[in-house]
Copies of this chain bind each other. A is one copy, B any other.
């Protein structure tokens, strides 16, 4: 079992899930210009949910991409962790739309928080399983890099749990936590180093977690 088939399945699933919310944007049926403008304005929570869901999926895809770049082998348990991970990824558009429509109540925030916690917990488990005793990862990756990646995923999971807890006090705090965490992750992904393309594949694998 090679990692390239998992990567292909992963890219296919992310491509579908990223465009999922755009599937139910339909052109409004109106009779005049002013009505069209107003109808489109009332669709803004749908557009916002689409943008948020796309950015969050972009962060998660980048994290998973970075993780797999360091993984040289694949076994059955790691495969199942990936399949469970994909299953939870596919819920992001649904929970994001739920949040964008019912953000003033704790139900939507708790569900979004559970989804987010599950995602980062699975990323943490994959990282832990692959790196424990250097089971699946490249032997040249430093312990420091593994710790850093694990800390990032643990941070995401803990922040999501905190957001769930705060939702019973004040839902605005929860939304603020999610906003801060994902903004931080967007910057985290953006500021990672430069990796060489195909021709330097062996090297880029080695370097993936080091920078």
Q: Which residues of A contact B (CB under 8 A)?
A: 1-5, 7-9, 11-20, 22-27, 30, 33, 36-37, 40, 50-51, 54-55, 58, 61-62, 65-66, 69, 71-77, 79-80, 83, 86-87, 90-91, 93-94, 97-98, 101-102, 105-108, 111, 135-136, 186, 189-199, 201-202, 204, 208
Contacts and interface: CB of A to CB of B under 8 A. Distances in A.
Contacts of A190: 76-77, 79-80
A14 B71 CA distance: 23
Given A79-B62, A204-B2, A36 B107 contact: yes
So how many copies of this chain end up in the complex? 4
14 contacts: A2-B198, A4-B198, A5-B11, A12-B14, A12-B15, A13-B15, A22-B91, A27-B101, A36-B107, A55-B83, A58-B80, A73-B194, A75-B195, A198-B201
Given A23-B23, A54-B83, A62-B79, 20 more contacts: A1-B208, A3-B198, A5-B7, A15-B15, A18-B87, A22-B91, A22-B94, A24-B26, A33-B102, A33-B106, A36-B102, A36-B105, A50-B87, A54-B86, A55-B83, A58-B83, A75-B195, A79-B189, A135-B194, A136-B194
